[in-house]
Amino acid sequence: METEQIIRTEYSELMQKSYIDYAMSVIIARALPDVRDGLKPVQRRTLYDMYELGIRYDKPYRKCARIVGDTMGKYHPHGDSSIYEALVVMAQEFKKGLPLVDGHGNFGSIEGDGAAAMRYTEARLKKITQEAYLADLDKNVVDFGPNFDETEKEPLVLPVKVPNILINGAEGIAVGMATNIPPHNFGEVIEGVKAYMKNPDIRTEQIMEHIKGPDFPTGGIVVNQDDLLKIYEAGTGKLKIRGRIEVEHGKGGKDRIIITEIPYTMIGAGIGKFLNDVYGLVESKKTTDIVDISNQSSKDGIRIVIELKRGADIDRLCALLYKKTRLEDTFGVNMLAVADGRPETMGIVPMIRHHVNFQFEISTRKYKTLLNKELEKKEVQEGLIKACDVIDLIIEILRGSKNIKEAKACLVEGETAAIRFKSEKSKKAAAKLRFTERQATAILEMRLYKLIGLEIEALQKDYEATLKNILKYEKILGSRAEMAKVIIKELDALQKEYATPRRTSIENAGEIVLEEPQMEELDVVFLMDRFGYARTIDVSVYERNKEAADSENRYVISCKNTDKIGIFTNYGQMHLLKVADLPFGKFRDKGQPVDNVSNYDSSKEELVFLASLDQMKQQKMLFVSRMGMLKLVNGEEFDVAKRTTAATRLGDKDEVLRIGFWEEGMHLVMQSKKGMFLRIETEAVPEKKKGAVGVRGIRLAADDLLEEAYLMKSGEGIVIPLGEEELELNRLRVGKRDTKGVRHV
């Protein structure tokens, strides 16, 4: 019986190795495309499975569930959703520059609607996929490897004749890296490949005379043409893309803005987000020119209609749409692909170089396979022609043989001992026969009708055609220039049939300059109720409803509509919100949650103090923490551009307890959870920067914290409940800062 062995391994080494193995698996075998065929493994396996199932472009559609199940069972054991998703994307014309799958049924929409379940949809290969992606698989042009359980063989790469990685682009997130390659125009890419084949030393700017830039299936406009050379040289960079706007002039000066093309990045939920953003511009009074917006898009294309009021400023509105919505967006280019078994970021010339080298490799293998077949055919044809000349002798050998083995031995090696001949002359002639094994097999399998005169002539013609093919294939294999001609001829044929006009315009456009209209400065009153809903009202409205406003709201602050409100939290953060972002209206309007117009999150932090920026800039603010730390901060320090900033520095596990505006002569009373009270003069608290911790205000026991802090103006009396009794705070003796205080329970 074998004894069990425990192998001790350093945990960090095991984790490191396991993580690297996992990362490489994701990078190479799942997330990134191969530079040669531009396909991820799931796409390659799905297309090959459809090819194997015979779901050709001229055959009936087959259920996607059948394709997905077959692919998963044979080649891709990673779940049906990933396979179906890949199949759907390859059929979506708005995502792929050149769809590879012909989908039948609901395959989703440009607005983000998902495809129907795979049991309802059907698919088959596109004609281009068969001709340019899957052709010649029977000619040993690519290597095959075992599938996951070694029961099937699958191609390690498809013999794609066009640079699919550029035509269809790619996107994928691996471990520690991601790829994002934009799609390009089919005809332009073919021209670029041909230019490279004619001049392998071609530079990026010369390639770009043919490949002008990205060509998105959604159209749009690339507006930073001057950056394209740098992007295509390095393989990384940012494209600025805009939707296309048209203006329709209506009756009575009422115009309409029509969006006919959208940025590629807006596909899916981005369209709904754009509509909401336009609604937001109207609600926030960024524009008053929009009357209505409707999405009239259909299978014929994008059509988003914005109705304008009479005399609208169209130029400003277009600038507003580009600046404040995703109608102008950025596409981050990162041309990362697997080359020679490792991920590599490449410019456009190296990508085409890899593709062309691959074309020469598959063409060499193809024509070697074809040449070998023709040489085999030639051998057989020569044997049959020779056999026709001595057919009487061969018949005599066959009739005199007891079995095929004797007849074959005579035909190949001239062995006549076991065969009965009619004459010695025939026996001597038979002894001289020297057919090859392949020729002898063909002769033995030859049918008698082949001896008809016309059949013999046809055999002679086939032999001549075979000789011509051998010369042709040897010529192609013997010269790189000849092979290049053949590849270019194939590319020309594909270009003629499948090239389409460019959809995306490439131009240089200046940065959008949007002049914000100057807001008329008004005095308003900020109101926030106990539920965190805030709004602003006119001062006169407040005066008429003062009693109700003061009693119903947690905060009531007089400010300007151009001011900002600072929200201070228990975690020492200050969130700024613009008063202009709050709804302005009637007294009984509900308002807007402050969470929606600032970075404040009421579910995670507690509001401690709230004030207008104008108030803060004119005063000093006293900070009190749970651990009894105190400091004064000049309010001007909170006049910052950031929406969120650290208002104070806190110790470990400390929180802000109280913040208040400071005045001379004020007293501070600190109350701890264990009933300790300390009253001090606030002049004893030093002024510090907002980034400082502060000084200790009270000495607390190890397990004690401040429960409350009270700021009292001179002469003010505050009475608090204390058990069943009350405590008048101004009767407490004034002590020194950083002492224990006195106990009141």
Catalytic residues: 120
Residue 106: C-alpha distances to residues 110, 119, 121, 123, 141 (Å): 12, 11, 7, 11, 36
DSSP string, 75-139: T--S-HHHHHHHHHHHH-TTT-SS--EEEES----TTSPPPPPTTT-EEEE-HHHHHHTSTTGGG
HSE-CB of 174 using CA atoms within 13 angstroms: 29
Measured distance CA(257)–CA(402) in Å, rounded: 93
Q: Residues 578, 567: contact at Cβ < 8 Å?
A: no
Measured distance CA(137)–CA(460) in Å, rounded: 31
The residues, ordered by sequence, that sit 6+ positions from 429 with a Cβ below 8 Å of its Cβ are 390, 393
Q: Residues 523, 560: contact at Cβ < 8 Å?
A: yes
Burial tier of 193 (Cβ tally within 10 Å: 0-12, 13-18, 19+) = buried
Helices in 53-156 by DSSP H: which ranges? 64-74, 80-91, 127-132
CB atoms within 10 A of CB 80: 15
Q: Strand pairing partners for 708?
A: 671
Amino acid present at 609: F
Separation of first and last alpha carbons in the chain = 76
| CA 444, 446, 448, 454 torsion-angle sign | negative
Measured distance CA(623)–CA(660) in Å, rounded: 7
Measured distance CA(425)–CA(438) in Å, rounded: 26
In eight-state DSSP terms, residue 224 is B
Q: How many helices (H) does the chain have, and how many strands (E)?
A: 22, 35
Question: Helix or strand or coil: residue 611?
Answer: strand
Residue 438 phi, psi (nearest 5): -65, -40
Amino acid present at 243: G
CA 185 to chain CA mean position, Å:
20
Question: Helix or strand or coil: residue 655?
Answer: coil
183: left (phi over 0), alpha (psi -120 to 50) or beta: beta
Question: What is the three-state SS of 560-600?
Answer: ECCCEEEEEECCCEEEEEEHHHCCECCCCCCCEEHHHHCCC
Question: Helix or strand or coil: residue 537?
Answer: strand
Q: Residues 223, 507: contact at Cβ < 8 Å?
A: yes
